C-alpha cells in the first residue's frame, strides 16, 4: 500500500471508534474466508455475492461491486478527479473496501454522491452523469434489498407482508417518489453535485445504503443500532385483513408523521372487517387520538389523510397544521398545510343545515378529501389545488365511489375522562362505543353520565 493510499485509508479508519476499527478492517478477510477460496489480494464478485447476496438481489450486489471497484484509494473518491470510475486492477482491494465502508457508514453527502453515481451507472468508467431513469433503477434495487432485510431479519414490527399490498409495486412507487426529489439539468441528467444535493435532502438514501452495507457485510458498530423503518403494529386481526398498504409505502408514510408519534399502529376501522357503515367508522375514530385514513376508490387509486387530533363530531373545523393529505397509488406523495386556512378536519352527521360526512381540507362542497355520511360516496375537488393542503385531485374521478377503507390509530390515545378507568363501574355506553357515538351524533342527552357510582378514594 503506497503512502498516499495509507493516508487516505488511515483518515477513513479514524472516523470509527478504536473498538470498531478491527471490525471494519476484518471485513476483507471475512469476505475472502466466506467464499471458501484461497486468500488473495482482492475481493471478487463471487466473494461479495456470497455475503451481500443473502440480503440483496444479484443486480444490487453487482452495483456494489462496481462501485467498490470505481474507488481510487489514492485520491479518496472518483469525484476528486471528476472521473466516473477508477481503472484499477480487477477485483476490490482492501483499501478500496475500507474507503467504501467509511464513506457509506460514516461519510458525508459529498462523499456518498460519487458512490451512488457509480452504483447507478450500467458500466464502470461511464460518463460522469447519470439519467433519472438510471437512478430509479438503482433505487428499486436498493429498496428491494431493504425490504428483504426487514423480512429476513425479523424486523417487521408486527406487520404481515403476505396480508398487505404488492411489495414489487410498492418498491417501484417508493423508488419513483425518492427520485422525484432530484433536481436534474434541463437535459434530464444528474452530475455528482446534483446527487450530493439530493442525498443531503433525502435522508432515506443514506439510511437505506447504511442498512444494506451493515447487514450485507455484517458490520456491527457499537453506536449505530439498526434503524427502525416500520412503526410497531398491534391488535390487528391479520387473518381477516388485506391491508391497503404495502411495506415500501409504509416505509414512506411512517416518517411523515410529526415527531413524537411513535405509538404502535392499531387498526380501528376496516370496511373488510366492519362493513360499510359511517356510524361504525365514526365509532372507530372517536377517542383514538391521531389517525391515518386510507381509501381505495373503484378506479384503484389509494389515498388518504393524517388527522393530528382525535376526531369530534361537530359542525366546525378542527385539527391543526400537522395534518396532511397523501396519495399511495398511482404515486406516493404527501401534501402538507399551506397556511391559507385552517380547514384541516371536519366530521359531522345528522345536521340539516351543515354538510354531513368527513372532510379534510378545502371548503364545504369542495373538500380536498370528502366522505359522505351516505357511506360509499365521496369527492376530491381541487381546482387546481386544495387551498388547505395544496393537493391535486387524489381520487381517480372527482366524485368517487369507495371500494374499501381503513383507519389506523397512530398516536397515543387521549387520557380517559374521570370515571372511565380505575374502580368505576362501566356504563353500557362505555362497553359499546358505537352506541355512545350514535347518541352523541344524534344530539341525545346521555342522562346516565350523571348517575354513575362515585369512584373509591385513591390514596
pLDDT in tens, the chain (459 residues): 445 557 888 999 999 999 999 999 999 999 988 544 445 689 999 999 999 999 999 999 999 999 999 898 765 555 433 444 444 447 899 999 999 999 999 999 999 999 999 999 987 666 789 999 999 999 999 999 999 999 999 999 999 999 999 999 999 999 999 999 999 998 889 999 999 999 999 999 999 999 999 999 989 886 667 778 999 999 899 999 999 999 999 999 999 998 767 789 999 999 999 999 999 999 999 999 999 999 999 999 999 999 999 999 999 999 999 999 999 999 999 999 999 999 999 999 988 788 999 999 999 999 999 999 999 999 999 889 999 999 999 999 999 999 999 999 998 877 766 555 544 444 444 444 444 544 544 555 444 444 444 444 443
288 and 389 together in one domain: yes
202 and 272 together in one domain: no
Domain boundary among the residues 409, 434, 454 is at 409
201 and 238 together in one domain: no
CATH number, domain of 69, equals 1.10.238.10
164 and 273 together in one domain: no
189 and 250 together in one domain: no
Which residues touch 400 (CB under 8 Å, ≥6 apart)? Answer: 297, 298, 299, 377, 378, 379, 380
With respect to residue 417, please indicate whether it lies within any of the assigned structural domains.
no
Print the domain residue range for 261. Answer: 233-409
With respect to residue 448, please indicate whether it lies within any of the assigned structural domains.
no
106 and 248 together in one domain: no
113 and 245 together in one domain: no
Q: What is the pLDDT of residue 187?
A: 87
Q: What is the pLDDT of residue 429?
A: 45
279 and 199 together in one domain: no
197 and 247 together in one domain: no
167 and 242 together in one domain: no
With respect to residue 447, please indicate whether it lies within any of the assigned structural domains.
no
With respect to residue 16, please indicate whether it lies within any of the assigned structural domains.
yes
Residue 388 to residues 262, 321, 345, 359, 363, Cα–Cα distance (Å): 26, 9, 10, 12, 9
Q: Is the peptide bond before 122 cis (omega within 30 degrees of 0)?
A: no
239 and 371 together in one domain: yes
177 and 264 together in one domain: no
Domain boundary among the residues 182, 217, 252 is at 217
Instruction: Count structural domains, the chain.
Output: 2
Domain boundary among the residues 187, 217, 247 is at 217
Amino acid at each position: 500500500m503506497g503512502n498516499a493510499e495509507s493516508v487516505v485509508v488511515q483518515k477513513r479508519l479514524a472516523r470509527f471508534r478504536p473498538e470498531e476499527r478491527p471490525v471494519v478492517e476484518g471485513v476483507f478477510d471475512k469476505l475472502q474466508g466466506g467464499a471458501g477460496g484461497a486468500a488473495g489480494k482482492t475481493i471478487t464478485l463471487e466473494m461479495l455475492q456470497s455475503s451481500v447476496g443473502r440480503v440483496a438481489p444479484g443486480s444490487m450486489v453487482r452495483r456494489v461491486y462496481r462501485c467498490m471497484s470505481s474507488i481510487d484509494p489514492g485520491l479518496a473518491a472518483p469525484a476528486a478527479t471528476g472521473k466516473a470510475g477508477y481503472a484499477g486492477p480487477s477485483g476490490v482491494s482492501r483499501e478500496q473496501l475500507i474507503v467504501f465502508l467509511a464513506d457509506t457508514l460514516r461519510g458525508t453527502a459529498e462523499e456518498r454522491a460519487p458512490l451512488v453515481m457509480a452504483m447507478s451507472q450500467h458500466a464502470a468508467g461511464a460518463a460522469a452523469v447519470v439519467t433519472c431513469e438510471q437512478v430509479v433503477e438503482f433505487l428499486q434495487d436498493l429498496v428491494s434489498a431493504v425490504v428483504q432485510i426487514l423480512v429476513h431479519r425479523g424486523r417487521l414490527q408486527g406487520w404481515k407482508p403476505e396480508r398487505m399490498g404488492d411489495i414489487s409495486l410498492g418498491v417501484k412507487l417508493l423508488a419513483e417518489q425518492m427520485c422525484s426529489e432530484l433536481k436534474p439539468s434541463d437535459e434530464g441528467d444528474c452530475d455528482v453535485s446534483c446527487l450530493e444535493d439530493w442525498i443531503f435532502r433525502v435522508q432515506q438514501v443514506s439510511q437505506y445504503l447504511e442498512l444494506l452495507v451493515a447487514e450485507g457485510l455484517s458490520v456491527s458498530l457499537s453506536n449505530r443500532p439498526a434503524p427502525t423503518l416500520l412503526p410497531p403494529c398491534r391488535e390487528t386481526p391479520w387473518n381477516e385483513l388485506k391491508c391497503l398498504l404495502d411495506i415500501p409505502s409504509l416505509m414512506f408514510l411512517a416518517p411523515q408523521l410529526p415527531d413524537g408519534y411513535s405509538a404502535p399502529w392499531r387498526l380501528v376501522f376496516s370496511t373488510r372487517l366492519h362493513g360499510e357503515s359511517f356510524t361504525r367508522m365514526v365509532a372507530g375514530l372517536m377517542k383514538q387520538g391521531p389517525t391515518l385514513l386510507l381509501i381505495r376508490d373503484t378506479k384503484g387509486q389509494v389515498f388518504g389523510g393524517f388527522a393530528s387530533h382525535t376526531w369530534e363530531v361537530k359542525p366546525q373545523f378542527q385539527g391543526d397544521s400537522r395534518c396532511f393529505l397523501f396519495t399511495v397509488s398511482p404515486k406516493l406523495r404527501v401534501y402538507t398545510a399551506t397556511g391559507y386556512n385552517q380547514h384541516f378536519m371536519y366530521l359531522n352527521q345528522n345536521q340539516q343545515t351543515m354538510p354531513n360526512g368527513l372532510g379534510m381540507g378545502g371548503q364545504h362542497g369542495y373538500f380536498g378529501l370528502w366522505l359522505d355520511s351516505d357511506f360509499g360516496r365521496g369527492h376530491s375537488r381541487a381546482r387546481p389545488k386544495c387551498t388547505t393542503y395544496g393537493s391535486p385531485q387524489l381520487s381517480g374521478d372527482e366524485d368517487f365511489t369507495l371500494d374499501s377503507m381503513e383507519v389506523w390509530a397512530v398516536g397515543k390515545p387521549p387520557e380517559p375522562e374521570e370515571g372511565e378507568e380505575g374502580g368505576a363501574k362501566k356504563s353500557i355506553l362505555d362497553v359499546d362505543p358505537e352506541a355512545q357515538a350514535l347518541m352523541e351524533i344524534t344530539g341525545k342527552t346521555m342522562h346516565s353520565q350523571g348517575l354513575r357510582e362515585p369512584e373509591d378514594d385513591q390514596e
